[in-house]
Amino acid sequence: MASSPKNMNVESYIFDQLKLRLVILSDTHGYLDENIAVLIRTADVAIHAGDVMDVSVLEQMQPALQTIAVAGNNDEQGLWSSRENCFTKKLPESVLVKLPGGTIAIEHGHRFGFSQPDHQQLIAAYPKARAIVYGHTHKQLVDQSLTPWVLNPGAAGVVRNQGGPRCLVLKTNGDQWKVEANIFPQPVVDMASRRH
């Protein structure tokens, strides 16, 4: 069973704007699809749920207000280049984003079940959240059947992206939240030139 949020490296962000547009992504594995980068530039906040694997991915994420990222299982010290190792130390295990309509808890998910994160454990860890965002599986999921919602944006890169890079867009207007799933065409990438 995973640690409770009290025992983890948790950062918090607070946004008081009633209307926000958030782009949520994960599992870039060193490559951010250009369609998603463009979408992020139209957002107020960008959230990366781990397995960044290259600081250039975060540098390409240019929302109006803030980029927020958590560490994934592939963002550990020593797995990135020496230039980027100092950056991996700065990535928290989880983040809470407080909005006027509720809180979003962000995790990579691997600490809640390595092959498939256990949704009940995630919900037990963040019972007061309105939504829980995780990555790791590379499979897009929007489960709004209970509160907290459980959201997985899918892979935003080219590694195991299930047919094309994916992300979620969350539009908030106070208590009104709307989640949109986005899937883009598979990019043509020279895999030999990629490090990851």
pLDDT in tens, 84-138: 655 666 889 999 999 999 999 999 999 998 788 999 999 999 999 999 999 999 9
What span, in angstroms and rounded, lies between the C-alpha atoms of 181 and 133?
Answer: 13
The answer to whether residue 73 is domain-embedded is yes
The answer to whether residue 168 is domain-embedded is yes
CATH of the domain at 56: 3.60.21.10
Only one residue has tokens 């960008």, namely 46
On the question of pLDDT at 149 being above 80, the answer is yes
The more confident residue out of 162 and 129 is 129
The more confident residue out of 123 and 189 is 123
What span, in angstroms and rounded, lies between the C-alpha atoms of 107 and 136?
Answer: 9
pLDDT of residue 87: 66
pLDDT of residue 174: 95
Q: How confident is the model at residue 54 (pLDDT cuts 50, 70, 90)?
A: confident
The answer to whether residue 31 is domain-embedded is yes
pLDDT of residue 92: 92
The answer to whether residue 193 is domain-embedded is no
pLDDT of residue 60: 95
Chain centroid, CA 91 distance in Å: 12
Mean pLDDT score, 41-56: 94
The answer to whether residue 44 is domain-embedded is yes
The answer to whether residue 13 is domain-embedded is yes
Contact 161, 186 (CB under 8 A): yes
Amino acid at 105: A
On the question of pLDDT at 78 being above 60, the answer is yes
For residue 44, what are the contacts with CB-CB under 8 A and spacing of at least 6? 15, 17, 20, 21, 22, 63, 64, 65, 66
On the question of pLDDT at 171 being above 90, the answer is yes
How many domains does the chain fold into?
1
Range of the domain at 97: 5-184
The answer to whether residue 98 is domain-embedded is yes
The per-residue pLDDT of the chain, averaged, comes to 89
Contact 184, 35 (CB under 8 A): yes
pLDDT of residue 116: 87
Instruction: Please count the other Cβ atoms lying within 10 Å of the Cβ belonging to residue 121.
Output: 15
pLDDT of residue 26: 98
The answer to whether residue 53 is domain-embedded is yes
